[in-house]
Structure 1
Amino acid sequence: MEKGLMLPRILLLSIFTISVQSEYYSKTLPAVAQEKTTHLHFYLHDTLSGKTPTAIQIASPNSTNSKDDNPIPFGALFAIDDPLTEGPEITSKVIGNARGMYLSSSQDKFLTLVMYVDLGFSRGKFKGSSISVFSRNPITEKHREMAVVGGRGQFRMARGFIEVNTYYLNTSNGDAILEYNVTVVHP
């Protein structure tokens, strides 16, 4: 009989546990580091054509109503690994890569992309660091702005913006060279 009461006693004892004090946050400490503003200037080469494109379509819209004259139709998703260079020529010094994806997100003649891109630097003062961009990019506008939403390395906790200027655009195949003027605030 006593063996039959053992299980209920154990269950009853397990209900009475020691309460633990916990909080969903930790103590907030004042920031020690001063914020810096860094300005960067470089070029991004987005190549959709040729034998070694730097941007490839990885998903397409499920539609029979396609426009043959548009290299980036509405709903198309592209993966990119675009070189970043010091100058507009593809032969100029490569300082990093833009890796990520963009989605064609407009149905009208004003082509707009939504971009998630990591601008990673492989040379110079910011080697090993990157800037994260997640923004709308109305590519038919010559001058436009995109948001910097973060980063890593020296750009950890970054915020800022990129002024984008279309340096070159081939409307028949979608190849482009873009001038990036970056203003980033970071610790």
Structure 2
Amino acid sequence: MSSEHTMLLLPVAVSMALLLVGAVAATKTTTHLKFYMHDIVTAVPSSPATAVRVARAATPLPLEPAVRFGDVFVIDDALTEGPNATSPAVGTAQGYYMYASRTDAALMLSVNMVFTAGPHNGSTIAVLGRDAILDPVRELPVVGGTGVFRGATGYGLLRTYLINGTTFNAVLQVDMYVHARV
């Protein structure tokens, strides 16, 4: 094939490749998931701890003395359909969070939502971002996933549903908006 023919076919090949990429991208759908995350910092008779402090910093925050910049927790929190701990399980939130601000109660959260029941069983959603825990609604980015959520993007909205001021055990309402190919 001569270089003239190659030059003539190149625009056709590029156009077809772009059409193919567009067709593949068009198959992405948005899935809304709602569940509750149970972060148990202090074990109670009804539940063992699911958030374990692995590093404790020296200096408390000015307005939140129970919180220390640099505290790190590893988590394996239950995910349930409803806010009650006895609600049907949908999975676990596995990862870590650390207090990453010297001035306010803000976490750097890195977590995999591991689904163990229902239509998403065996799939995961990866979340990584800043969680300003005193804000009524926090938005965190979805940075990936596996299974039906392979290559996912999107975001999660976190709301504190319940927090115990003595034990610091909390229940979070999580609304995930996940864009993935089906």
Same-fold call, TM cutoff 0.5? yes
- Aligned-partner residue type, residue 175 of structure 1: N
| In structure 1, C-alpha distance between the alignment counterparts of 2:116 and 2:159, rounded to whole Å | 23
Counterparts of 1:104 and 1:129, CA distance in 2: 28
Q: What CA deviation, in whole Å up to 9, does each residue of 1:146-173 have, x standing for no partner?
A: 1111001110100001111110012332
Q: Residue 163 of structure 1 is aligned with which of 134, 154, 157?
A: 157
Aligned 8 A contact 1:71 1:172 in 2 = no
Structure 2: 5+ residue stretches without partners = 1-13
Structure 1 residues 118, 156: closer, same or farther in 2, change over 3 A? Answer: same
* 1:42 aligned partner, one-letter code: F
Deviates more, 1:120-129 or 1:167-176: 167-176
Asked if structure 1 preserves the Cα contact closer than 8 Å seen for 2:60 and 2:66, the reply is no
Selected match of 1:38 from 9, 12, 31: 31
- Aligned position for 1:91: 86
Partner of residue 9, structure 2: none
Distance 1:58 1:40 in 2: 30
Which one has the bigger helix percentage? Answer: 2
Match of 1:135 among 126, 129, 132: 129
Matched, 1:53 2:52: no
Aligned to 2:144: 150
For residues 42 and 109 of structure 2, what CA distance do their matches in structure 1 show?
Answer: 20
**Is the 1:161–1:184 Cα contact (8 Å) retained in structure 2?**
yes
Distance (whole Å) between structure 1 residues aligned to residue 50 and residue 60 of structure 2 = 23
Which protein has the larger Cα radius of gyration, Structure 1 or Structure 2?
Answer: 1
TM-score, normalization by structure 1: 0.78
* Superposed displacement of residue 107, structure 1: 1.9
Percent identity, aligned pairs only? 36
4+ residue runs over 6 A deviation:
none
Partner residue of 2:77? 82
**Structure 1: runs of 5 or more not aligned:** 1-26
On the 8 A contact 2:67/2:99 being kept in 1, the answer is yes
Q: CA deviation at 1:100?
A: 0.2
Tell me which amino acid in the other structure corresponds to 1:169. I
Aligned length: 157
Cα drift, residue 74 of structure 1: 1.1
Q: For residue 111 of structure 1, what is the amino acid of its counterpart?
A: A
Q: Secondary structure at the match of 1:146?
A: strand
